[in-house]
């Protein structure tokens, strides 16, 4: 079962991009998003859907696979049906504006799972927030269905809906609000507070990805392998950080065994939340 809170990098690729999919497991991403929506030309959408099962089979269970479906009512039912196959971990639903949208796709997926002989509820759901009109309903969206595993933030579309450029200054507030709504429900949160399409200025993307994690996002959406490497590197602790975290955990656990709830370590008070942060560093180190 996928540990969504520990998925750092999700790499988009068109579902019909055979060469890209053949190398999907070598790109370093923690998960792959097979796209049926924006990365596929309108004339190729049916072909991309038809190629989906083969693309999932190529990845072969070595990575979690998500499918970004079209929100278009004329396509979403067929997309959901085609996505209900073994090896798909979750559906990514774009342009979610209400809890009702998440509930509708939940029903579609349940029917598709039954038809495909899959356990009902086995495919998760990532609801992507891409319109300011969704902001008042984030709490309801985040609790719409047990199938929900994450909220995503679609920065480019969100900015387009506002009629502005997708700058970090403009998108930090809605991005963090989305992340907070997700984390309050124990869900993962994926996205960046700015343009995800930055591939010509990797230092700028590094700043956006770092800001995303500082705002509470658990993972970053990537459109290029170079972005994947940056995201994974950001969350890779240094040797000094690992050593310090291990020291905090060891001393805190020993204190708890003695019946103490907090201790001083190197001039700082260490209690359970601080120890939990140190454990997160160690988990990131182990995963890296």
Give mean pLDDT, residues 182-205. 92
Tell me the C-alpha distance between 100 and 113, whole Å: 20
Give mean pLDDT, residues 91-109. 96
- In the numeric block, the tokens 């068109």 are attached to 14
Return phi, psi of residue 149, to 5°.
Answer: -115, -20
Give mean pLDDT, residues 251-255. 87
Give percent above pLDDT 70 in the chain.
Answer: 99
State the virtual CA torsion across 246, 250, 252, 258 in degrees, nearest 10.
180
Q: Considering only CA atoms, which of 285, 168, 280, 175 is closest in space to residue 233?
A: 285
Return phi, psi of residue 124, to 5°.
Answer: -80, 180
CB 210 within 8 A of CB 182: no
Q: Which residue has the higher pLDDT, 111 or 237?
A: 111
pTM exceeds cut of 0.85: yes
Chain-centre distance for alpha carbon 67? 12
In the chain the domains, ranked by start, together with CATH numbers, are: 4-234 (3.20.20.60), 239-287 (no CATH)
Q: What is the pLDDT of residue 182?
A: 98
Q: What is the pLDDT of residue 239?
A: 82
Q: What is the pLDDT of residue 288?
A: 60
Give percent above pLDDT 90 in the chain.
Answer: 73
**Residue 15 CB partners (closer than 8 Å, separation 6+):** 21, 34, 35, 36, 40, 48, 49, 51, 52, 55, 67
Give mean pLDDT, residues 191-219. 92
Give mean pLDDT, residues 9-27. 93
Q: Considering only CA atoms, which of 254, 185, 198, 250 is closest in space to residue 226?
A: 198
Percent helix, percent strand, percent coil in the chain, to nearest 5: 55, 15, 30
- In the numeric block, the tokens 């995201």 are attached to 231
Q: pLDDT (tens digit, 9 = 90+) per residue, 125-152?
A: 999 999 999 999 999 999 999 999 999 9
The token pair that represents 16 in the structure block:
């019909």
CB 91 within 8 A of CB 105: yes
Return phi, psi of residue 96, to 5°.
Answer: -80, 125
Give mean pLDDT, residues 85-93. 96
Tell me the C-alpha distance between 224 and 101, whole Å: 29
Tell me the C-alpha distance between 138 and 53, whole Å: 32
Which letter does DSSP use for residue 152 in this model? E
Q: Which residue has the higher pLDDT, 207 or 286?
A: 207
């Amino acid at each position: 079962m996928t540990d969504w809170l520990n998925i750092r990098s999700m790499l988009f690729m068109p579902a019909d991009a055979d060469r890209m999919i053949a190398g999907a497991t070598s790109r370093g991403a923690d998960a792959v998003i097979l796209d049926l929506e924006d990365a596929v030309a309108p004339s190729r959408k049916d072909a991309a859907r038809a190629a989906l099962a083969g693309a999932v089979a190529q990845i072969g269970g070595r990575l979690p696979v998500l499918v970004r479906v079209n929100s278009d009512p004329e396509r979403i039912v067929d997309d959901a049906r085609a996505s209900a196959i073994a090896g798909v971990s979750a559906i990514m639903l774009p342009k979610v504006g209400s809890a009702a949208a998440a509930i509708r796709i939940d029903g579609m997926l349940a029917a598709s799972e039954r038809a495909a002989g899959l356990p009902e509820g086995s495919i998760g759901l990532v609801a992507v927030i891409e319109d300011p009109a969704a902001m008042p309903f984030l709490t309801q969206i985040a609790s719409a269905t047990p199938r929900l595993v994450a909220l995503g933030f679609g920065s480019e579309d969100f900015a387009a809906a506002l009629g502005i450029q997708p700058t970090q200054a403009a998108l930090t507030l809605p991005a963090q609000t989305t992340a907070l709504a997700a984390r309050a429900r124990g869900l993962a949160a994926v996205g960046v507070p700015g343009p995800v399409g930055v591939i010509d200025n990797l230092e700028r993307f590094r700043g956006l990805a770092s800001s995303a994690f500082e705002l509470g996002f658990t993972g970053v959406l990537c459109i290029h392998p170079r972005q994947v490497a940056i995201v994974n590197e950001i969350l890779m602790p240094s040797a000094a950080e690992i050593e310090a975290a291990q020291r905090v955990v060891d001393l805190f656990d020993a204190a708890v065994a003695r019946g103490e709830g907090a201790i001083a370590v190197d001039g700082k008070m260490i209690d359970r939340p601080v120890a939990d942060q140190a454990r997160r560093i160690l988990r990131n180190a182990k995963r890296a």
